Amino acid sequence: MNFSDIQKLVDLAEADLRLFDIDKQLRDLDASFKTLEEKEQKAAEIVFAAAKEKENAALKRKNAEISLAQAEESLKKRKESSQNIKNAQAAQKLESEMAALSDEISNLETEILSLMEAEKEAEDRKKNAEKEAAEARKSARDASVKIKEKEDSLSALKKQEEEKRESLAKLCDVDFLSKYEAVKKKKFPALVSCSFREGKLFCGGCGMSLTASQSEEIKKGNSLLNCMNCFRLIYFKK
Ligand SMILES: [Zn+2]
């Protein structure tokens, strides 16, 4: 082995770093698209809930209006029957029934007013939410066009980098390559240079110091070692 074999593997590892970065950017784009979708979804849910509230208030109001009509009818009938009242006891009974009906009517009228108010409030909320939903939809549409463009250019770049990587892999020593691929499954980046500090060498991945014999071996510049701590492949950069 000589250093040019290591250099080829270094080139390959750099291509992997670029691919890793592209994949990360693609994931970020995907996440920002999902956030937009969620915003739109949330706005639509608010519209739906407000519409439902309005519907409920309207239904309650209609029922209250029916009860009101019935109570008014009953009161009217009692007023008519008060003309041919027989005795004081019957008059008292009728009077208390009429008072109860008047109370009921007044309560129903209050209820109807407050239900009308609730209906109006729900309608306002619905309108606001519809506006927000439309804005969210529009910004999601605008952003998704940009996201799609960025995604397309990243995908094209990814394809190029993959092709580059493929030709770099063909140049690599088979043993080096298989070692590299094995480590890459567990650690990324899989290949790191060692750093030099206070007369000692350290793994550029985890920072663990190399043993004296490892240092001696790696300094020859033509070998790859596994870090004893993180198992990454380390090489010595002259
Ligand atoms: Zn290490």
The per-residue pLDDT for 206 is 96
- Per residue, the 3-state secondary structure of 151-192, as one string, reads HHHHHHHHHHHHHHHHHHHHHCCHHHHHHHHHHHCCCCCCEE
Which residue type is seen at 121? E
Model confidence at 6, pLDDT cuts 50, 70, 90, reads very high
Q: How far is CA 164 from CA 10, 11, 16, 167, 168, in A?
A: 13, 10, 10, 5, 6
Would you tell me how many other CB atoms lie within 10 Å of the CB of residue 47? 20
Q: What is the pLDDT of residues 149-183, one digit of tens each?
A: 999 999 999 999 999 999 999 999 999 999 999 99
The per-residue pLDDT for 1 is 57
CA of 192 to the centre of ligand 1 (A): 9
Closest CA to 112 of 71, 74, 51: 71
- Cα separation, 12 vs 174, in Å, equals 13
pLDDT mean over 140-147 = 90
Q: CB–CB of 68/109 below 8 Å? A: yes
Cβ-Cβ contacts under 8 Å for 196 (sequence gap 6 or more): 202
The per-residue pLDDT for 221 is 83
The per-residue pLDDT for 202 is 96
- Cα separation, 46 vs 134, in Å, equals 12
The per-residue pLDDT for 3 is 66
The per-residue pLDDT for 36 is 86
Mean pLDDT across the chain? 93
CA of 188 to the centre of ligand 1 (A): 11
CA of 81 to the centre of ligand 1 (A): 102
CA of 187 to the centre of ligand 1 (A): 10
What domains are there in the chain, each with its CATH number? 22-167 (1.10.287.1700), 178-235 (no CATH)
Model confidence at 59, pLDDT cuts 50, 70, 90, reads very high
Percent of the chain with pLDDT over 90: 79
The per-residue pLDDT for 201 is 95
Which residue type is seen at 60? K
Q: What is the pLDDT of residues 103-117, one digit of tens each?
A: 999 999 999 999 999
CA of 203 to the centre of ligand 1 (A): 5
The per-residue pLDDT for 2 is 66
Q: Where are the alpha helices (DSSP H) in the chain?
A: 3-81, 88-171, 174-184, 212-219
pLDDT mean over 109-127 = 95
Kindly list the protein residues that place their beta carbon closer than 5 angstroms to ligand 1, a single-atom ion. Answer: 203, 205-206, 208, 227, 229-230
pLDDT mean over 26-42 = 91
Q: What is the pLDDT of residues 191-220, one digit of tens each?
A: 999 998 888 999 999 999 999 999 999 988
Q: What is the pLDDT of residues 78-96, one digit of tens each?
A: 999 888 888 888 899 999 9
